[in-house]
Amino acid sequence: MKETTPAAMPPCFERWCQRFDDVFTHKAQKREFRHYIGGLLGESERKNLFQISENAVGVTYHRLHHFLTEAPWSSDQVNERRLKIMNKCSQTRISRGFNLIIDDSGHRKSGNFTAGVGRQYIGEIGKTDNGIVVVTTHLYDGKKSLPLDIELYQHADSLPEGKQDSEFEKKPELAIKLIDQTLNRGYQPGIVIVDAGYGNNTSFLLKLENRQLKYLGGLAKNRKVILNLEDNSQQIIRLDELTEALPKEAFTEIQLNLDKTETLWVVTKEVEISGLSRKRNIAIVMNAATFSQATDIDYFILWHQMTGGLRRRWANKSLNTFTEALEAFRTAMSYRFFDWLTLNRDVFTAYKASLGFIWA
Same domain? For 119 and 162 the reply is: yes
305 residue type, one letter: Q
pLDDT of residue 3: 62
The pLDDT value given to residue 223: 93
Domain membership flag for residue 359: no
pLDDT value of position 332 = 54
Low-confidence ranges of the chain (pLDDT < 70): 1-5, 111-113, 258-259, 304-360
Contact between 102 and 135 under an 8 Å Cβ cutoff? The reply is: yes
Query: What is the domain count for the chain?
Result: 3
The answer to whether residues 228 and 340 belong to one domain is yes
Give the separation between CA 303 and CA 216, rounded to whole angstroms: 7
**Within-domain flag for 194:** no
By residue range, what is the domain housing residue 111?
95-189
191: closest CA among 308, 270, 101, 266?
101
Query: Are 216 and 183 part of one and the same domain?
Result: no
Q: Does residue 203 sit within a domain?
A: no
How much is the pLDDT for 322? Answer: 44
To 10 degrees, what angle do helices 61-69 and 27-41 make?
100
Identify whether 86 is part of a domain: no
Q: Are residues 226 and 295 in the same domain?
A: yes
Query: In terms of domains, do 172 and 59 share one?
Result: no
**In a domain? residue 89:** no
Q: Please indicate, yes or no, whether residues 106 and 172 belong to a single structural domain of this protein.
A: yes
